[in-house]
A and B are shown apart, each in its own frame.
Chain A
Amino acid sequence: MHKALLAAAYLALSGLPALAQEVVLGAVVPLSGASATLGDDQRRGIELAVDNINEKGGVLGGRKLRVIVEDSGGRAPSALDAAKKLVTVDNVPVVIGEYSSGITIPVGQYLVQEGRVHLNIGSSSGKIRSLGDGSFSLIGLDNVSTGFAAQDVVDNKWKKAAVIVPNNAYGQGVAEQFQKAFSALGGEVVTTVMYTEGQTTYRRELQQMERSEPDVYVYSAYGKEAATINRESFELSINTTPWYAIYLSMCTSDADPKFIQGQYGLDLNYIGPDGAVYEAAYKAKYNEPFKTSFNGYGYDAVMMAAAAIEKAGSAEPKAISAALKDIGKGYNGATGDITFDADRQRSKQPYLKLKIEDGVQQR
Chain B
Amino acid sequence: MVEFLVHVAIMACLYGLLSLSLNLQVGFAGLVNFGQVILFGCGTYGAAIAFSHQLGPVAGIALGIVFAVIVAAAFARLGRNLGADYWGIATLAVAEVLRILANNEAWLAGGAQGVGGIPLLFGDMPRPMGPLMTLGLCVALLLAAWWLCQRLTTSRYGLALKLMREEPQLAASLGYDLAALKTQTLMVAAVLAAASGFVFAHYITFVGPDQLVSSETFLIWAMVIIGGSGNHLGAIVGAILMQFLFAFVPFVKDALGLPSEHVAAMRLTLVGGGLLAFLIWRTQGLIPEHVGGKQNG
Binding site for B on A (CB under 8 A): 10, 13-15, 31-32, 36, 40, 43, 68-71, 73-78, 80-82, 84-85, 88-89, 100-103, 105-106, 109-110, 125, 127, 130, 167-169, 171-173, 194
**Are B264's CB and A81's CB within 8 A?**
no
Q: A76-B210, A85-B250, A169-B114 are in contact. Are A31 and B260 (CB under 8 A)?
A: yes
Smallest Cβ-Cβ distance to A12: which chain B residue: B255
Contact partners of B11 in chain A: CB under 8 A: 77, 81
**Are A43's CB and B260's CB within 8 A?**
yes
Contact partners of A130 in chain B: CB under 8 A: 117
Q: A76-B204, A172-B106 are in contact. Are A84 and B111 (CB under 8 A)?
A: no
Contact partners of B3 in chain A: CB under 8 A: 84, 88
Docked CA distance A339–B193 (Å): 45
Tell me if B208 is interfacial: C-beta within 8 Å of chain A: yes
Contact partners of A81 in chain B: CB under 8 A: 7-8, 11, 246-247, 250
Tell me if B107 is interfacial: C-beta within 8 Å of chain A: no
Which one of A70, A89, A110 contacts B260 once the chains associate, using CB atoms below 8 Å?
A70
Tell me if B139 is interfacial: C-beta within 8 Å of chain A: no
**Are B206's CB and A109's CB within 8 A?**
yes
**Are B256's CB and A13's CB within 8 A?**
yes
**Are A82's CB and B250's CB within 8 A?**
yes
Which one of A15, A43, A127 contacts B261 once the chains associate, using CB atoms below 8 Å?
A43
Contact partners of B261 in chain A: CB under 8 A: 31, 40, 43, 71
What's the nearest-Cβ distance from chain B to residue A24, in Å?
11
What's the nearest-Cβ distance from chain B to residue A143, in Å?
14
Contact partners of B112 in chain A: CB under 8 A: 167-169, 171-172
Docked CA distance A32–B8 (Å): 20
Contact partners of B4 in chain A: CB under 8 A: 84-85, 88-89
Tell me if B276 is interfacial: C-beta within 8 Å of chain A: no
**Are A102's CB and B265's CB within 8 A?**
no
What's the nearest-Cβ distance from chain A to residue B249, in Å?
9
Which one of B7, B103, B257, B260 contacts A84 once the chains associate, using CB atoms below 8 Å?
B7
Tell me if B291 is interfacial: C-beta within 8 Å of chain A: no
Docked CA distance A32–B27 (Å): 31
- Residues of B193-213 contacting chain A, CB below 8 A: 200, 204-206, 208, 210-211
Contact partners of A101 in chain B: CB under 8 A: 113-114
Smallest Cβ-Cβ distance to B3: which chain A residue: A88
Docked CA distance A171–B113 (Å): 9
Question: Can you list 12 A-B pairs, Cβ within 8 angstroms, ordered by A?
Answer: A14-B254, A71-B250, A77-B200, A78-B246, A78-B267, A80-B204, A102-B113, A105-B114, A106-B116, A106-B205, A167-B112, A171-B112
Contact partners of B113 in chain A: CB under 8 A: 101-102, 125, 127, 169, 172-173
Smallest Cβ-Cβ distance to B259: which chain A residue: A69
Which one of B254, B256, B267 contacts A73 once the chains associate, using CB atoms below 8 Å?
B267
Contact partners of A84 in chain B: CB under 8 A: 3-4, 7
Docked CA distance A167–B210 (Å): 11
Contact partners of B210 in chain A: CB under 8 A: 74-76, 100, 102-103, 168-169
Contact partners of B280 in chain A: CB under 8 A: none
Q: A76-B206, A105-B206 are in contact. Are A172 and B111 (CB under 8 A)?
A: yes
Contact partners of A76 in chain B: CB under 8 A: 204, 206, 208, 210-211
**Are B268's CB and A32's CB within 8 A?**
yes
Tell me if B59 is interfacial: C-beta within 8 Å of chain A: no
Tell me if B1 is interfacial: C-beta within 8 Å of chain A: yes
What's the nearest-Cβ distance from chain A to residue B206, in Å?
4
Tell me if B104 is interfacial: C-beta within 8 Å of chain A: yes
**Are A32's CB and B264's CB within 8 A?**
yes
**Are A105's CB and B267's CB within 8 A?**
no
Q: Using an 8 Å CB-CB cutoff, how does the interface string of B242-284 with A read, 1 for contact, 0 for none?
A: 0000110011001111001101110110000000000000000
What's the nearest-Cβ distance from chain B to residue A76, in Å?
6
Docked CA distance A89–B261 (Å): 20
Sample of 12 more A-B contacts, CB < 8 Å, known A88-B4, A172-B111: A71-B250, A76-B208, A82-B250, A84-B3, A85-B247, A89-B1, A102-B206, A106-B204, A109-B205, A125-B113, A127-B116, A168-B210
**Are A32's CB and B267's CB within 8 A?**
yes
Docked CA distance A73–B111 (Å): 22
**Are B7's CB and A102's CB within 8 A?**
no
Contact partners of A85 in chain B: CB under 8 A: 4, 247, 250-251
What's the nearest-Cβ distance from chain A to residue B127, in Å?
10
Smallest Cβ-Cβ distance to B208: which chain A residue: A102
Docked CA distance A194–B209 (Å): 15
**Are A10's CB and B255's CB within 8 A?**
yes
Contact partners of B251 in chain A: CB under 8 A: 85, 89
Which one of A15, A36, A103 contacts B264 once the chains associate, using CB atoms below 8 Å?
A36
What's the nearest-Cβ distance from chain B to residue A353, in Å?
28
**Are B247's CB and A71's CB within 8 A?**
no
**Are B106's CB and A88's CB within 8 A?**
no
Docked CA distance A81–B255 (Å): 17
Contact partners of B200 in chain A: CB under 8 A: 77
